[in-house]
Structure 1
Amino acid sequence: MPTSIITTDDLLEFKLELLDDIKNLLVKQSKGKLKKYLKSSEIMDLLQISPGTLQNLRINGTLPYTKIGGIIFYEAEEIQSVMTANRMHHMINS
């Protein structure tokens, strides 16, 4: 089996490539483009809600969804829009 020698230049190059990959992931995440569709379990984790609450939000039309086969998908942008549209602003009287 041939032996490979790893130099400090190789490690530096690897480090720079890894940092670029991490940076690209962070940029995608900050733009909200990391994942377009989310499954029910991801929505429950994201919103910290139970399966029953998620089902109620689907039934009453609060959360739009797509069902393909037996899997329910939610579009991340639509979930964000629902959250923004239902934001409550409380005024404090002085």
Structure 2
Amino acid sequence: MQIEIITKEDLNEFKKELLEEVRKLLSSGTILQSEYLKSWEVCKLLKISPGILQTLRKTRKLPYKKIGGSIFYSKIDIGQMLKL
């Protein structure tokens, strides 16, 4: 097993690279949340009630991510569910 030592300089360089990538994403107009919808947006898009959306979650027909207290749905997952 080979041990690799990471220095403060390595971490600072990584931080600079990461921040630069985030800046590029934000400046290009790509918003990370644009790929995901909140519950109310899904209800409006699919013209369903919050109760139906909850049933889709519980039956695992529509995958979701819970971040903090908010639930997000991938636009790709919604599209795949509609194709079934």
Q: TM-score, normalised by structure 1?
A: 0.53
Is 1:61 aligned to residue 60 of structure 2? Answer: yes
1:74 counterpart residue number: 73
Runs of 4+ in 1 over 6 A off after TM superposition: none
Summarize deviations over 1:47-72 as a string: whole Å, max 9, x none: 00001000000000010000011100
**Residue in 2 aligned with 1:18?**
none
Partner of 1:42: 41
User: For 1:83, what is the secondary structure of its paired residue?
Assistant: helix
* Structure 1 residue ranges without an equivalent (≥5): 1-34, 87-94
CA distance in 2, matches of 1:55, 1:82: 15
Partners in 2 of 1:51 and 1:75 — Cα distance?
17
Judging by fraction of residues, say which structure has more helix.
Answer: 2
Unaligned runs of 5+ in 2: 1-33
Identity %: 51
How far residue 78 of structure 1 moved from its aligned partner, in angstroms, is 1.0
Q: How large is the RMSD of aligned CA atoms in angstroms?
A: 1.8
Aligned pair count reads 53
Structure with the greater alpha carbon radius of gyration? 1
Q: Equivalent residue of 2:61, what SS?
A: coil
**Residues in 2 aligned to 1:37 and 1:68: alpha-carbon distance in whole angstroms:** 12
Q: Secondary structure at the match of 1:67?
A: strand
